[in-house]
Amino acid sequence: MEQTPRPGIRTSWIVAGAVLLVLVGAGVYVLLTLRPQFEVSIDYPSSLTVGQTGTLEVRVKNRGDKPGVYKLSVGIGDNTWTENVWVGAGGENVLRYTFTASNLGMLEVLANGKVGKISIVPILGGGESMWGTLTSPVNWQSLDSSSGGVENKS
C-alpha cells in the first residue's frame, strides 16, 4: 500500500513558514526602528557681575522609544569636556555646571552646537548706576599754553 501525502499538511507547513517569516521580519523592523532620539537645550543667565557664580543648565531629552547613551560636549569659556549621559526612553536628564565670572566681557557657553553668550559686567555696588562728572587729577587751566604754562597773578 502506497501512502499519498495529505494536501492539508503540506499547506499547513507553508502557511506556518510564511507566518514565521512575517513575525521575524516585523520583529527585526521594530528592533531597527526603535531607537533613542535625543534633543539638547541649554539655560544660562544673560549677565553676571565679576566674581558672581553662574549656572549652565543642560537638558538632554530622549524623545525616542528606546533608552540610550548620549555623548555630550560642554564648554564654558576656554574649558571644554565630554561626558556620556544615559537617558531612558521618553525621559530626560538635567546636568548643571557652576562657574565663577572672572573677566569682564562676553563669556561663551555651549552644549552640542547650542551656543549662548553671557555678559560679564563690573560690580557697581548694590545695583546702583554710575553717573556724574569725572574729574581729572591734572589742572588743565594752569597748563594753558597762552600764558606759557604759568598763571598770571597781577
Which grid cell is 14? 507553508
Say if residues 120 and 79 touch (Cβ distance below 8 Å): no
pLDDT (tens digit, 9 = 90+) per residue, 102-111? Answer: 999 999 999 9
pLDDT (tens digit, 9 = 90+) per residue, 13-68? Answer: 777 777 877 777 766 665 566 899 999 999 999 999 999 999 999 999 999 999 99
Residue type, 113: G
Task: Extract the runs of DSSP E, i.e. beta strands, from the chain.
Answer: 38-43, 47-49, 53-62, 68-76, 79-87, 92-100, 105-111, 114-121
Interatomic CA distance for residues 135 and 13, integer angstroms: 102
CATH assignment of 38-124, given 2.60.40.10, 1.10.3720.10, 2.40.50.840, 2.160.10.10? Answer: 2.60.40.10
Interatomic CA distance for residues 47 and 11, integer angstroms: 76
Q: Is the pTM of this model over 0.85?
A: no
